Structure 1
């Protein structure tokens, strides 16, 4: 074995240490990607994907180079390890790997143009003198044009630092916005429980209930109401799972307004 000193670069991820904390980024990885695609001098855009986009598979779509598309999306998936701001956009374009069109390729190019605004953006880990575990969850209802499935997402904090995040299309069609939000909450609860167990194995057991913030009051009411009714029968397993964690005070659901 050989001591190489403090970690500075590993598998495309750059590590910088200072008094304020530890900073992770993939600056060189982004520049190499932009140089390879010829977009180093392109005009940047403010967002990685269009709001209310209509990306889907259409019968009359114009096909594009599938190998190139898969290679670019694969590199963007690896980049999202330190760039949570592109996680949703990358999860959308990765759904069309088997049959990409020119519109899908344009969406990938838009992500690259967005990266050109700040290629050195990354994650900052600072000391906040606590190890509280918390998270935020949200979902769009029937956001996918093709199959009307919803997309749920969450991100979690440990000690005030962002540690995990995910954006994923749900496996079943939700019949209401509350159901879509509730399924998203179930995914967030699973992630918080995993983090809690990991911290316990490391010797840092959380001393208070973990907070999972949600902007849907109906979903919060369902989680706290043990009475079954029409809005809950489609999420029966998730409802019992979440209620069990609420009863033992492992988790709490504070409401946060959508504007925040």
Structure 2
């Protein structure tokens, strides 16, 4: 049975109140202090509850708020899992995965404790709520939970050693950020060594604030880099459409949302119907990307690979390339 998770939005005299309920915990905030106080008083009259004050800690998330913005991190949780899995004294590393690492099934490798491996993966997956910089590596290692080997265990330990180096990192949400929506998308062709399926990486930002991201293996085998990039762009487009509809409840309207892709060929497929005759093997469900481009919902824009933020969700990167992208995503140390 899934826990209760409920979100409500109330507008009153130009101000907005947002209420979120998770099991027996309630988080609420508003653009008006008066509206917050009124809601708190009403809830206290109707229900037996304790007002804890300004949000600072919630289910492992640590929140620091000031006039300049909000910083969300899991430093306490990170140190806890380092201690739990005996990695507290490990040697720190500067990236979550080496570019020389190429994981596969490793059927000839030595088997490791499946329970411990799954526990490590589960702990890391929860940490990705504030650490998008480890999303790709954790998801890659999670594919081998059914039969983990020493090589997979070493890759997971590499992530923990990176966390030892960066326990305080979290996500920064600036109060001065603009309310412009944009998406980045990238595809790593045939990235999986087992079934040759590609990896889609996407991220969506509201101004400079990262609000959604994903790294996942594509459902079908892409026959070219162009197809892999096109499928990833379709996935990002779908998420942007959902966000556009959700943000409309807050009175925000967006037209021609920028979707930044580093493949000119993938952009051409979406813009030029003539090219479709040479791409009939691409599943028809992905061609809705072109439909929404024609409607003006999306504006496909080419971005050079060095500035493609979604690269961090598709492949391991060297420190010099990894660190700037991490910073652009808003992953930083507390101020």
- TM-score w.r.t. length of structure 2: 0.75
Query: Do 1:210 and 1:251's aligned partners in 2 also have CA atoms closer than 8 Å?
Result: yes
Using the alignment, how far apart are the partners of 1:229 and 1:159 within structure 2? 33
Deviations 1:85-127 (A, max 9, x none): 0000001000011110011000010000000111010000012
Q: Secondary structure at the match of 2:260?
A: strand
Q: Choose the corresponding residue for 1:179, options 215, 227, 238.
A: 227
Q: Name 2:42's counterpart in structure 1.
A: none
Q: Name 2:59's counterpart in structure 1.
A: 11
Q: Name 1:241's counterpart in structure 2.
A: 288
Aligned ranges 1:1-260 → 2 under 5 Å: 1-128=49-176, 130-206=178-254, 208-229=255-276, 231-260=278-307
Using the alignment, how far apart are the partners of 1:96 and 1:79 within structure 2? 19
Query: Do 1:178 and 1:216's aligned partners in 2 also have CA atoms closer than 8 Å?
Result: yes
In structure 1, the gaps of 5 or more residues are none
Moved over 3 A (4+): 228-231
Query: Do 1:223 and 1:239's aligned partners in 2 also have CA atoms closer than 8 Å?
Result: no
Q: Secondary structure at the match of 1:227?
A: helix
Alpha-carbon shift at residue 14 of structure 1 (Å): 0.1
**More deviation in 167-176 or 2-11?**
2-11
Q: Secondary structure at the match of 2:245?
A: helix
Q: Secondary structure at the match of 1:54?
A: coil
Q: RMSD of aligned C-alpha atoms?
A: 1.3
Q: Secondary structure at the match of 2:83?
A: helix
Query: Do 1:127 and 1:159's aligned partners in 2 also have CA atoms closer than 8 Å?
Result: no
Greater fraction strand: 2
In structure 2, the gaps of 5 or more residues are 1-48, 308-335
Deviations 1:59-85 (A, max 9, x none): 312100000000110010000000000
Query: Do 2:69 and 2:176's aligned partners in 1 also have CA atoms closer than 8 Å?
Result: no
| Structure ID, larger Rg | 2
